[in-house]
Amino acid sequence: MKLSQLPINQEQLVQAWQQTLPSTFHPTDRVEVTADTRNPQSLLIHVHTAGHSNYSFDYECRYMDPREVQVRLIEMQRDGYAISKPSPDIEDLSGTYMRHIHECAQTLHPTTHPH
């Protein structure tokens, strides 16, 4: 699938995600959505956790078709350093964030698949 098959272009898609995704997260978590310049079918999502833990998570969210996304964790960090062996709690948090990303994709179905 080429992103052009979506009813909106990548810039509009990023804007829609930027407006919608924060509502699926805890209000104090910071989320950023950018276009993946290497893959027009993908968005890059950066999540910085609330509180003093200083965890951050980077995900790739790739449209498989106008209805389905594949979410992949790229990296987890604490205080700017990559976490190679996360604790079960951090793995659970990452899984929760992945569910939030999928929820956002569901919320945006009318935009990405209006039929």
Q: Which CATH class is domain 3-112?
A: alpha beta
Q: What is the model's pTM? A: 0.91
pLDDT of the residue at 1: 45
Alpha carbon 49 to chain centroid, angstroms: 14
pLDDT of the residue at 115: 66
Q: What is the pLDDT along the chain (115 residues), one digit of tens a residue?
A: 455 477 788 899 999 999 999 999 988 999 999 999 998 889 999 999 987 788 999 999 999 988 899 999 999 999 989 998 999 999 999 999 999 999 999 999 999 887 6
Of all residues in the chain, what percent are helix, strand and coil, respectively (each to 5)? Answer: 35, 30, 35
Q: From CA 96, how far away is CA 9, in angstroms rounded?
A: 28
What are the extents of the domains in the chain? 3-112
